[in-house]
Amino acid sequence: MNQIYLMNKKIKFTFASFIHSARILVKWLFCSVIMGLLVGIVGALFYWAIYAVTNYRQGHPYVLFLLPVGGLMIIALYHLLHSLKNSGTNLVLKAIQSNEEVPIKVSLLIIVSTLITHLCGGSAGREGAALQIGGSFGNHIAKKLNFDSRDTKILIMCGMSACFSALFGTPMAAAIFSMEVVSVGLMHYAALVPCVLASLIAYGVAGFFDIPPTAFSIGAVPGLGLVTGFKSIILAACLAAASILFCISLHKNEELFGKYFKNPYIKIFVSGLLLVAINFLLGTTDYMGAGSNVIARSFTQSEAWYVFLLKLLLTSITLSGGFKGGEIVPSLFIGATLGSFLSSILGLPTALCAACGMIGVFCGVTNCPITSLLMAIEMFGTDAIHYCIMVIAISYLLSGYYSLYSSQKIVYSKYEPRYINRNAKH
């Protein structure tokens, strides 16, 4: 009798646990559909807006000279909406780590300011906007649904994944990125279902709006052996060094601008003037905006050694001065052009080195190896996956605790199984 009683009790407990899990699944299914559709539509419209202003700038190069004025407009907008202290993507990361708010006005601010930056030729990406748009929508909907602080954090991550997926067309990487980027060494698996579903739905929405996924052809890939493996290690070490240099450049320039230009209007105006002067002297539009055309070109020809350095410099001036956008696409530019240059030295295919460069620098600046691996699969296929995973692993280790995001937490050490819980270097 006791055994029957215990068995019945166990069955009831298991059934109750299953029902509890099913209720949570239904809740996140509902939220994922809302986030995937809503944020996917906003992300898709934002993508085509970026596309439109980029085309206009390329057809009218003189708009570069409006960059200082565009900067003043950005600061005025943030001032008008009382958001001058907005820390951008770091605000979204802090909202997940603690209980800080990501107000819905963040979406308006980052959309308009990123469009101004791209229209006038600032060197920036678009994923910073994606993370902030998604995070603010997630926070807003969580408040409307009266979610507690824990579920609000999950919905913020869900929104980040959805918008990232819509803009980049890499749903697997987008689903994992928002869970991985917050705390290095610790994944927020409680957000797995909503992030995956919202990411896939937003990807479908992007496809409906004819947004092409980010993908590159790498052609024939040599077998990974002793010699090619050693060359890959050298390549990964160079990429890790570039990722550290990029992080240091961004944060040190931000400190310098803040030190010498206390007034945000003066700071962004001076930044705009510097960008105009440098781009005018270079006599090319390669370094304006995201630079997607140069990334694509890196897969077909070896770039000069200085190309990645110029992009690094111009991006750090753009973002440190107060212009808005993202750091991830510039990191892909830096990695692709550096890898392309190193291909001629290492004797490896140009496209292979450009692909490894993109993934290696991305991993080094974000500390997200799983996202990097999934991104490699989605963008390049599986032919070069052995090279990519080797570069990812080595870049992750050698890049240390540097990060694009000062709010990122290093929960577990990169070098030993030890809990450290420290802020990323900047």
pLDDT digits (tens, 9 = 90+) for 65-102: 999 999 999 999 999 988 877 767 787 888 787 777 88
pTM for the model stands at 0.93
Residue 425 confidence (pLDDT) above 90: no
Mean pLDDT of 164-192: 92
Domain residue extents for the chain: 12-208, 226-423
Those residues with Cβ within 8 angstroms of residue 306's Cβ, 6 or more apart along the chain or in another chain = none
Topology, domain 226-423: Clc chloride channel (1.10.3080)
pLDDT confidence of residue 10: 66
The CATH number for 12-208, chosen from 1.10.3080.10, 3.30.70.20, 3.30.70.1560, 1.10.10.10, is 1.10.3080.10
Of 4-8, 21-25, 175-179, 337-341, least confident by mean pLDDT is 4-8
Q: Which residue has the higher pLDDT, 211 or 21?
A: 211
What is the average per-residue pLDDT within 285-308? 93
Q: Residues 202-245: pLDDT tens digits?
A: 999 999 999 999 999 998 899 999 999 999 999 999 999 999 99
- Cα–Cα distance for residue pair 421/39, rounded to 1 Å: 32
Torsion of CA 108, 30, 131, 421, to 10 degrees: 130
> For residues 133 and 105, is the Cβ–Cβ distance under 8 A?
no
CA separation for the pair 324, 107 (Å, rounded): 12
Alpha helices in 209-263 (DSSP H): 226-260
The pLDDT assigned to 334 comes to 97
- Common-topology check for domains 12-208 and 226-423: yes
pLDDT band at 2 (very low <50, low <70, confident <90, very high): low
Q: Which residues pair with 16 in a beta bridge?
A: none
> What stretch of H or E contains 47?
helix 2-59
Give the model's pLDDT for residue 344.
Answer: 93
Task: Determine the 3-state secondary structure of 411 from DSSP.
Answer: strand
Sequence-ordered alpha helix ranges (H) in 347-384: 350-366, 369-380
